[in-house]
Amino acid sequence: MHAKKFYLRSFGCQMNDYDTSRMADLLRERFGAEPVSTPEEADVVVLNTCSIREKAQEKVFSDLGRLREAKKSHPGQIIAVGGCVASQEGEGIVKRSPWVDVVFGPQTLHRLPDLMEARVRTGRPQVDVSFPELEKFDCLPKRQPEGAAAFLSIMEGCSKYCSYCVVPYTRGEEISRPMVDVLVEAVQLVDAGVKEITLLGQNVNAYRGQTPEGDTADFALLLEYLSEIEGLERIRYTTSHPREFTPRLIEAYARLPKLVNHVHLPVQAGSDRILAAMKRGYTALEYKSIIRRLRAVRPDISIATDFIVGFPGETEAEFEETLRLQEEVGFDASYSFIYSPRPGTPAARLPDPVSYSEKLERLQRLQSANDQCARAISESMLESVQRVLVVGPARRGEGLLSARTDNNRIVNFPGPLELVDRMVNVRITDVYPHTLGGVLVE
């Protein structure tokens, strides 16, 4: 089979980006393949798709239309579709776009090379969107981290079934990797030069991993063990769920300095009626109580969140409760989107009288409130000393390096290239709209 050049495209969340990088590892290992920069040159084209909102899903089908043209000038090219749209549509993708050769899901991505070979052997498109639990982790090649920051997947799927969301259907129920597997992978990454690990999962704090003794380790315990790894300097994670934010996890922030001073904790809305209709399983007060207790142990911790604006039936007054929550918590960053009805989810059947233009206006008000808050937080960092991970030379500015703070700010400062991939202390001297400026301190 001829599969020397691949072109991968990733949509959606960090989980998908991670999966995409694992597909590249697979294609390298099996076929000695290398990436190319356009689909026209590639022997294998893979779209790793997302269906969280309608726009993301539509993108896939318009991309597939273009790929059909490219394939005409490249006979034998394999077009593969993975990710959440693949998981949901399965066979439907081949029916709708018969030039697609392979369809695979988030849990069968390790079978991609086999599916490609089966396609060539049988002459028929191959579809495998089954959910073989955790099998993929045993079948993936060893990681080759690039740089000092790496992702590490600890759990998969979601069992929360929020009324608007496709993830439980596309990724399956929550399932955690055994604790030792996670620790071994973390040690391998650190041995390869990694200093910062971001733990990945749809709800990382729903982690319930088996221990060698046959017990179950929770997320707080996993963090404790990871913290013991020498050479690992920073631990991040995404995404966590308020319902699983236990007192033990809050306590971990008091004890484990390697945990970054930043949490991404999606709240979605500020109105209790909307939160209940979303089936989130907490009230605004309960959410604020988590934040208050976190700040009791980490006073300057930065909180990022996700919002959905314009959930079916959301009134102006209910939206204002979301705005108020933004003010009260002082979110440092937020990912906010207009509600997008997803076929097959309960919320898609709810009456939705609010117009799109009104929802758009609400979104803009919320985003501008969040921008103001983020700006104020940046200002408050002025003159502070931040421990940062140097990621590389700055994109602009001779002799400048670029680094990342705990709360995901980019800091540019003068320094030698030897500092790349190291942790250093920087004093913040300037605040710009999208970056900070600083100087090295001893």
Residue 200 binds ligand SF4 (CB under 6 A): no
Nearest approach in angstroms of CB 357 to ligand SAH is 17
Nearest approach in angstroms of CB 150 to ligand SF4 is 23
The binding site for ligand F3S (CB under 6 A) comprises 12-13, 15-16, 50-52, 83-84, 166-167, 170-171
- The SS3 call for residue 100 is coil
What distances in angstroms separate CA 279 from CA 54, 159, 162, 208, 311, one per listed residue? 21, 12, 5, 22, 12
CB 88 within 8 A of CB 101: no
| Sole binder of ligand SF4 in the list 202, 238, 240, 412 (CB under 6 A) | 202
Q: Which does 15 bind (CB under 5 to 8 A by kind): ligand SAH, ligand F3S, ligand SF4, none?
A: ligand F3S
Residue 306 binds ligand SAH (CB under 6 A): yes
| Sole binder of ligand SF4 in the list 160, 177, 342, 362 (CB under 6 A) | 160
List Cβ neighbours of 249 (8 Å cut-off, separation of 6 or more). 205, 219, 220, 223
Rounded distance, CA 139 to CA 111, Å? 9
Residue closer to ligand F3S by CB (options 167, 265) is 167
Assign residue 157 a region (left: φ > 0; alpha: ψ between -120 and 50; beta: otherwise).
Answer: left
Residue 165 binds ligand SF4 (CB under 6 A): yes
Q: Which does 168 bind (CB under 5 to 8 A by kind): ligand SAH, ligand F3S, ligand SF4, none?
A: ligand SF4
Rounded distance, CA 90 to CA 131, Å? 12
Burial class (CB in 10 A: 0-12, 13-18, 19+), 156: buried
List Cβ neighbours of 226 (8 Å cut-off, separation of 6 or more). 182, 183, 186, 197, 199, 232, 235, 258
Residue 203 binds ligand SF4 (CB under 6 A): yes
Residue 77 binds ligand SAH (CB under 6 A): no
Residue closer to ligand F3S by CB (options 107, 271) is 107
Residue closer to ligand F3S by CB (options 52, 226) is 52
Residue 305 binds ligand SF4 (CB under 6 A): no
What distances in angstroms separate CA 112 from CA 44, 155, 358, one per listed residue? 11, 21, 44
The H or E element that residue 234 is part of is strand 234-238
| Sole binder of ligand SF4 in the list 5, 241, 342, 362 (CB under 6 A) | 241
Instruction: Output the residue with the shortest Cβ distance to ligand F3S.
Output: 12
Residue 367 binds ligand SAH (CB under 6 A): no
Output b/e per residue, 26-38; b: 16+ Cβ within 10 A.
bbeebbebeebee
List Cβ neighbours of 307 (8 Å cut-off, separation of 6 or more). 267, 268, 269, 322, 334, 335, 336, 337, 366
Residues 138-177 that bind ligand SAH (CB under 6 A): 158, 164-165, 167
Nearest approach in angstroms of CB 206 to ligand F3S is 14
CB 151 within 8 A of CB 198: yes
Q: Which does 57 bind (CB under 5 to 8 A by kind): ligand SAH, ligand F3S, ligand SF4, none?
A: none
Nearest approach in angstroms of CB 204 to ligand F3S is 13
Nearest approach in angstroms of CB 282 to ligand F3S is 21
Rounded distance, CA 368 to CA 375, Å? 10
Nearest approach in angstroms of CB 80 to ligand SF4 is 25
Nearest approach in angstroms of CB 53 to ligand SAH is 5
| Interacting residue ranges for ligand SAH, rule: CB under 6 A | 52-53, 158, 164-165, 167, 202-203, 239, 241, 266, 268, 306, 308, 337, 339-340, 342
| Interacting residue ranges for ligand SF4, rule: CB under 6 A | 158, 160-162, 165, 167-168, 202-203, 241
